[in-house]
Structure 1
Amino acid sequence: MPYEWTAPVEAPGAPQAELHLWPYRSLPRRGMVTFIGVTAGLLALPMIAVLGSPVLWGLLPFLAAAIAGLWWGIERSYRDGSILEELRLWPDRMSLTRHNPRGPRQDWDANPYWVELRLHAKGGPVEDYLTLRGNGREVELGAFLSPEERKALYDDLDRALRTLRADPA
């Protein structure tokens, strides 16, 4: 799952629970290097037929541009996928911080007793849209997760909120 609950820290003022969410990364960095290498090799294979002729020099810039474009596209995907959402729960407060890859950080705070957790089966921008409503605002949570992951997160977060509301100490 591309989210995890971290163990609570025993310190004054520390949150009782903390949740970190991030987009799923199907291609790790090592896999990206392997993919680029294999792609370059496969693109270079037909070039053996024109080795030693002037045609090679005409095709070589296109080969290099294709590999550079592939590298740039995957790197851009990594930068865009560097979103991190942090949800912290205290007995009297909860906060959500979203660290965007290109843009300002977004913050939301509310009293957990009054927060409404909702899973919209239909009508949201994504399937099984997960939102938190409180303090006069409704914010989305984990829009980058799959529908199954949002359902599991809904159950986990609902359980955490019920526990927090039942034990205010």
Structure 2
Amino acid sequence: MPYSWSSPQNASEQTLELWPHQSLPPRGMAAFVLATFTLITIPLFGLLGTALLWALLPFLLIAVGGIWFALHRSHQDRSTLETLTIGSDQTVLHRTNPRAKDQHWDSNTYWVTVELHQKDGPVPNYVTLKGNGREVEIGAFLSEEERQQLFAELTSAFSSARAAR
């Protein structure tokens, strides 16, 4: 699961961190780009010493550069981090975005409601938190099953936080 719960020294507070799946680490990305470059250059060995090699080489290098750029951009997009802190009095959601401003939401824990939109959201099993006059999404990058499990865990966490008051 690409999220984890932690409880700091203050037992009345819980913290949840969510992040997108990290299916290709930086080392795997480097290996993939190197393997692609190697496989693309194999057909060029028959063209060594000809002018056609110099005509094709820039296009092949642009293709490898495009693959590297796309993988690098995908890696940056996966640096999104959502941190939800549930205290006995206050709930705070902080989202760190890779290429945009950070987003912040807070509300009184007692009034926060967790909702699961099975078909009405932009993705199936869309989980939102409602409170302080706003409704915010949480874990939209998770899979359907993970969002269902997250909904159950959030419901339980808010119930125990309200009981601790």
Aligning the two structures, in what range does the TM-score lie when normalised by the shorter sequence? Answer: over 0.9
Q: How many residues align?
A: 165
What is the distance in 1 between the residues matched to 2:33 and 2:12? 43
4+ residue stretches of structure 1 with deviation over 2 A?
none
Q: Does 1:80 align with 2:77?
A: yes
Shift of 1:9: 2.4
- CA displacement 1:103-128 (0-9 Å, x = unmatched): 11111111111111001101111110
Structure 1: which 5+ runs fail to align? none
Q: Does 1:37 align with 2:34?
A: yes
Q: Match of 2:94, SS? A: strand
Shift of 1:140: 0.3
Contact 2:3 / 2:19 at 8 angstroms: preserved in 1?
yes
Residue among 144, 157, 162 paired with 2:159: 162
- 1:87-106 aligned at under 5 Å gives the runs 87-106=84-103
What is the distance in 2 between the residues matched to 1:129 and 1:46? 48
Q: Match of 1:7?
A: 7
Structure 2: which 5+ runs fail to align? none
Are residues 127 and 103 of structure 1, via their aligned partners in 2, closer, same or farther at CA, if it must alter by over 3 Å?
A: same
What is the distance in 2 between the residues matched to 1:45 and 1:157? 53
Instruction: Indicate the RMSD between aligned Cα atoms, in angstroms.
Output: 1.3
Identity percentage of aligned residues:
49
Q: Does 1:147 align with 2:127?
A: no
Q: Does 1:116 align with 2:113?
A: yes
- CA displacement 1:18-61 (0-9 Å, x = unmatched): 01111111111111011001111110111111112111111111
